[in-house]
Amino acid sequence: MPAELPNLSGVATKDLVEHIGSGNFKASYINWSRTMELLRKHAPGWMIETVFSPEGGPLHKAPQGAFLLLRFRHLDGTVTPEVPQAIMDHRNSSIAYDRITSRDITDTHRRGSCLLAAFQMGLAYELWAKMPLESGYQVEDQAGIEKVKATVKNTTKAASAASIASAEPAETTLEDFLKACSEKGLTSAAAKSLVPKLNGDFANGVKTIQDKDAAFVAQMNSKFPDTPGEDY
């Protein structure tokens, strides 16, 4: 009898969630290694398998770019239907096939593994559906539950007060700088040529780009034109 596919909805808890980016680029996620540990613990015998293309490699060509095909395989030989995961850059745009690197493939495999776990087993599906996760606390009795609720309430109030008092601006990221360059009209090649000069100070980079005039943009675009398949 084939192995039964487990339902892992409700297994992931909010104490495992991390955040990346800021503003419109802010996202919540669970680290891929934590996701794999949850799979080992709650879905023993199931492993993620890469389905190779007819050409014999992991990449499947698409009209633009490429994708991986992933599925689960149980130790008894049971397999699930394949699920595609596009190979994308940091802005979730497809990468031209001839520009895909080994790093792009390994990053996509990890991202696709988390997608597959949510898609077919429901693991951390709450993040994709933007639903609240359980707290992750484990208590033995009602008194413990009430204590946890009081702790969470007090912590939330304290954090809110600290946030209002500090009113610190969100950290400016590389994505914010590239967005500013795009809005200014710079080619992606021109924008990327400026990144090493910032030494990580993206806030100053955004301010500097916003102050530049059309002549600067034209000069940079002439010096660093985009090549086919180039994007942000």
Classify the C-alpha dihedral 188-193-198-199 as positive or negative: positive
How many C-beta atoms lie closer than 10 Å to residue 178's C-beta? Answer: 24
Q: Strand 27-30 vs strand 83-86: parallel, antiparallel, or unpaired?
A: unpaired
**Amino acid letter, 230:** E
The better pLDDT of the pair 18, 93 is held by 93
Q: What digits encode the pLDDT tens for the residues 106-152?
A: 999 999 999 999 999 999 888 767 666 554 434 344 454 455 456 55
166 pLDDT above the threshold of 50: no
Which of 127, 135, 50, 37 lies closest to 85 in space, CA to CA? 50
Length of the chain equals 232
Number of Cα atoms under 13 Å in the Cβ half of residue 165: 6
Q: What is the mean pLDDT of the chain?
A: 82
DSSP 97: G
Cα dist. 210→159, 193, 205, 206 in Å?
Answer: 33, 16, 9, 6
Q: What is the mean pLDDT of residues 43-54?
A: 96
The CB-based long-range contact list for 100-109 (8 Å cut-off, 24+ gap) reads 100/59, 100/65, 100/66, 105/58, 105/59, 105/68, 108/67, 108/68, 109/50, 109/58, 109/68, 109/70, 109/85
pLDDT of residue 2: 82
Q: List, in order, residues 6 or more apart from 80 with CB less than 8 Å away.
A: 5, 71, 72, 73, 120
Model pTM? 0.55
Q: What digits encode the pLDDT tens for the residues 193-218?
A: 899 888 888 888 899 989 989 889 88
Q: Per DSSP, which regions of the chain are E strands? A: 17-20, 27-30, 46-51, 60-61, 66-74, 83-86
Q: Hey, what are 90's tokens? A: 């940091």
Q: List, in order, residues 6 or more apart from 118 with CB less than 8 Å away.
A: 124, 125, 127, 128
Query: What residues does each domain of the chain span?
Result: 14-129, 137-170, 174-223
Say what percent of the chain tops pLDDT 70: 77
Classify the C-alpha dihedral 84-89-94-96 as positive or negative: negative
- Determine the Cα–Cα distance for residues 102 and 97; give it in Å rounded to an integer: 12
